[in-house]
Amino acid sequence: MRRLTWFNATSLTLGFAFLYIPMLILIIFSFNASKLVMVWAGFSTRWYGELLQNEAFLSAAWTTLKVAVASSTIATVLGTMAAYVLIRGGRFWGRTLFSGMIYAPLVMPEVITGLSLLLLFIGIGLDRGVLTIVLAHTTFSMCFVSVVVSSRLVSFDRSLEEAALDLGSTPFEAFRLVTLPIIAPAVISGWLLAFTLSLDDLVIASFTSGPSATTLPIKIFSSIRLGVSPEINALSTILILIVTIGVLTASLVSKRSSLKMQADERAAVRN
Amino acid sequence: MRRLVLIAVPYLWLLTLFLIPFLIVLKISLSDTALSIPPYTPTLDLGAGWTGVKEFFAGLDFENFWFLTTDELYWKAYLSSLQIAFLSTIMTLIVGYPIAYGMAQAPDEWRPTLMLLVILPFWTSFLIRVYAWMGILSREGLLNQFLLWTGVIDAPVKILNTDTAVYIGIVYTYLPFMVLPIYATLEKLDESLLEAAEDLGCSRASAFWLVTVPLSKSGIIAGCFLVFIPALGEFVIPSLLGGSQTLMIGKVLWEEFFNNRDWPIASAVAVVLLLILIVPIILFQRNEQKQREAEG
């Protein structure tokens, strides 16, 4: 029997207060009229207005979005391929090296990943810009996608694929018609993870970007280095809001689909 | 044929953009600094044929690594990174365990919501979560205002740009990584074991230490490594919350590369950091393996 003792209630309250109060303060002070960030001088949406006028931030946001969509999409394709190869590919030459290269970027310090990619791009004479950031982001996020997808591939019943093959479909058809629909939720969450990682990344983007391409985290970092600014508070509030809506929607959708699946199973049992 | 393509595409991608770049770092760490473009020597001159290759290898040495041991900035930075990462891991465990425990004990219908509340900060920008503390910890910040108001202090204290702020930042940003694996093991814990312990005369507190904690060991280990490994090479937190005296190796590497433009030293710093990380990474992998075997 689970019950909520006063100790557990206190630790949960304090824990979540610690996690959420800093972000709440950030949001509240983004509506502060004063330029002095920590002194309250009445409610105002002034900083949101100024943010929308700020060309530098808007263009950085646009670059970030382009990089995130491109890199997460390529990473999802490559990561799913890599997961399929690792789980279903059987033995091949250099398999250990391959799985090592999938797991190593997950624990590699960002400064090292960034430095090594930059040295490669300089070595082959590739101009740094949007393309190099996309290449860099794809490389580390494909490994995250591959881990998410392979955990789904491990848990599903392989005989379903075999049945499709026995019934005369080609391996590619079996993948498209049987495997892909089953692993689709993992592929989608892999894409979302890759997308967020790319939106969030400061260190690797700083190493691999050039003067022609500035992403939002680079822009935010260079302006908060000088101190707290109300415009950044407004920007942070918008970003927090987007993430919250995204996470809530995703969790509602997955809850509904699991409820629907349970209902279907019950209906199937009754029939 | 299709299988070959399936294997080759991700394989070649990772070879070109993960392994080869790392080999380049290794190579540059063995080179010498030079005032040229690129700012190191030797460079491989394939045009000169076999003698070019021979000269290239003759030009490599361990001088930079020797330099790292002689200049105290570097080993102090490694030691202080290890210390900060270790202590903040312990603090995150102390803060995170009660949260995970409370979640596992909470009524079933609360749990998805609690889970969502832990995951939400994880999806929120890391940079923004660090930034949130800059305003709170500054001299005019809310923490100082609060402490002055309660009368604990009578003049504002410096918290931002000290090591204290770095610890707070690491605990705050990495907390979900600690809570989630511990919660995952506690959630599966068989309640009847605790009842058995209590029936056999164990107090609630000793049942917790003798049954619950040992059974959540794999979650604790996983959580600790998930905090320790990234905290060791952390750059953003020390550079935004730490002060000029905060020495962390990620920051040193960044400055060596961007401010001093010393590529060979930056590369040598990276190689040594990776060597230090090998032990915790292997221990982490082994723990994961054991957990999978226990489940399967």
User: What angle do the packed helices A130-155 and A55-88 form, to 10 degrees?
Assistant: 40
CB B24 within 8 A of CB A123: yes
Residue A87 forms contact with B (CB below 8 Å): no
User: How many residues are there in chain B?
Assistant: 296
In the prediction, which pLDDT does A3 show? 62
Percent of chain A at pLDDT exceeding 70: 98
Q: Are residues A119 and A165 in the same domain?
A: yes
In the prediction, which pLDDT does B35 show? 63
Dihedral sign (CA B2, B6, B11, B14): positive
Record: contact A120-B273, CB cut-off 8 A: no
User: How many residues are there in chain A?
Assistant: 271
Query: Which residues in chain B are contacts of A116 at CB distance < 8 A?
Result: 21-22, 24-25, 270
In a domain, B31, yes or no: no
Domain of B199, CATH number, reads: 1.10.3720.10
In a domain, A94, yes or no: yes
Dihedral sign (CA A225, B270, A105, A126): positive
Query: Which residues in chain B are contacts of A15 at CB distance < 8 A?
Result: 95-96, 98-99, 102, 179
CB B175 within 8 A of CB A19: yes
Record: contact B253-A115, CB cut-off 8 A: yes
Using CA atoms, how far apart are residues B4 and A144, in angstroms rounded to an integer? 23
* Residue from A103, A112, A233 to probe the interface with B (highest B Cβ count within 10 Å): A112
In the prediction, which pLDDT does B43 show? 67
Record: contact A26-B233, CB cut-off 8 A: no
Q: Are residues A77 and A187 in the same domain?
A: yes
Which pair of tokens denotes residue B273?
């950091």
Beta bridge partners of B32: B41
In the prediction, which pLDDT does B166 show? 97
Give the residue numbers spanning the domain of A249.
228-259
Q: Are residues A68 and A149 in the same domain?
A: yes
In a domain, A96, yes or no: yes
Amino acid, single-letter form, for residue A165: L
Query: Which residues in chain A are contacts of B105 at CB distance < 8 A?
Result: 2-5, 8
Amino acid, single-letter form, for residue B286: R
Q: Are residues A116 and A249 in the same domain?
A: no
In the prediction, which pLDDT does A93 show? 85
* Residue from B44, B46, B99, B128 to probe the interface with A (highest A Cβ count within 10 Å): B128
In the prediction, which pLDDT does B68 show? 84
CA distances from B141 to A22, B122, B136, B151 (A): 12, 25, 5, 16
In a domain, A20, yes or no: no
| DSSP codes joined into one string, A193-220 | HHHHHHHH--HHHHHH--TT---HHHHH
In a domain, B126, yes or no: yes
Record: contact A12-B106, CB cut-off 8 A: yes
Q: What is the pLDDT along chain B (296 residues), one digit of tens a residue?
A: 778 888 999 999 999 999 999 999 998 888 877 666 677 777 665 566 677 677 777 777 788 888 888 888 898 999 999 999 999 999 999 999 999 999 998 888 888 899 999 999 888 899 999 999 998 998 888 899 889 999 888 888 999 999 999 999 999 999 999 999 999 999 988 888 888 888 888 888 888 888 889 989 999 999 999 999 999 999 999 999 998 889 999 999 999 888 888 888 999 999 999 999 999 988 988 888 888 888 76
Q: Are residues A178 and A116 in the same domain?
A: yes
Give me the phi and psi of B32, to 5 degrees please.
-105, 150
Q: How many domains are there within chain A? A: 2
Q: Residue B238: is the preceding peptide bond cis (ω within 30°)?
A: no
In a domain, B35, yes or no: no
In the prediction, which pLDDT does B269 show? 93
Q: Which of B94, B93, B81 is nearest to B166 (CA)?
A: B81
Q: Are residues A126 and A151 in the same domain?
A: yes
Residue A83 forms contact with B (CB below 8 Å): no
Record: contact A19-B136, CB cut-off 8 A: no
Q: Are residues A185 and A157 in the same domain?
A: yes
Using CA atoms, how far apart are residues A66 and A75, in angstroms rounded to an integer? 14
Amino acid, single-letter form, for residue B259: N
Q: How many domains are there within chain B? A: 1
In a domain, B205, yes or no: yes
Give the residue numbers spanning the domain of B157.
68-295
In the prediction, which pLDDT does B277 show? 93
Q: Are residues A189 and A252 in the same domain?
A: no
User: Which residues are CB-neighbours of B2 under 8 A, at least 6 positions away?
Assistant: A171, A172
Domain of A60, CATH number, reads: 1.10.3720.10
User: Which residues are CB-neighbours of B131 under 8 A, at least 6 positions away?
Assistant: A26, A220, A224, A228, A232, A236, B240
DSSP B176: H
User: Which residues are CB-neighbours of B12 under 8 A, at least 6 positions away?
Assistant: none
Interface of A with B in 155-184 (CB under 8 A): 171-172
In a domain, A49, yes or no: no
Q: Are residues A142 and A219 in the same domain?
A: yes
* Residue from B78, B82, B105, B147 to probe the interface with A (highest A Cβ count within 10 Å): B105
Band (A1; pLDDT cuts 50, 70, 90): very low
Query: Which residues in chain B are contacts of A246 at CB distance < 8 A?
Result: 123
In the prediction, which pLDDT does B49 show? 67
Amino acid, single-letter form, for residue B41: T
Neighbouring CB atoms inside 10 A of B146's CB total 12
* C-alpha A147, offset from chain centre: 13
pLDDT digits 0-9 by tens, A20-54: 999 999 999 899 888 776 778 888 888 899 888 98
Pairing status of strand B32-33 against strand B40-41: antiparallel
Q: Are residues A163 and A90 in the same domain?
A: yes
Higher pLDDT, A43 or A76: A76
Alpha carbon dihedral A33, A35, A38, A44, in 10-degree steps, equals 10
Q: Which of A267, A82, A105, A62 is nearest to A197 (CA)?
A: A105
| DSSP codes joined into one string, A93-124 | TTHHHHHHHHHHHHHS-HHHHHHHHHHHHHHT
Using CA atoms, how far apart are residues B128 and A173, in angstroms rounded to an integer? 44
Query: Which residues in chain B are contacts of A79 at CB distance < 8 A?
Result: 10
In a domain, A242, yes or no: yes
Residue A123 forms contact with B (CB below 8 Å): yes
In a domain, A45, yes or no: no
Q: Are residues A239 and A221 in the same domain?
A: no
Q: Which of B89, B120, B78, B81 is nearest to B222 (CA)?
A: B89
| Helix and strand numbers, DSSP H then E, in chain B | 16, 2
Query: Which residues in chain A are contacts of B172 at CB distance < 8 A?
Result: 18-19, 22
Beta bridge partners of A32: A43
Q: Count of A–B CB contacts within 8 Å?
A: 234
Record: contact A23-B240, CB cut-off 8 A: no
CB B124 within 8 A of CB A13: no
In a domain, B173, yes or no: yes
Beta bridge partners of B33: B40
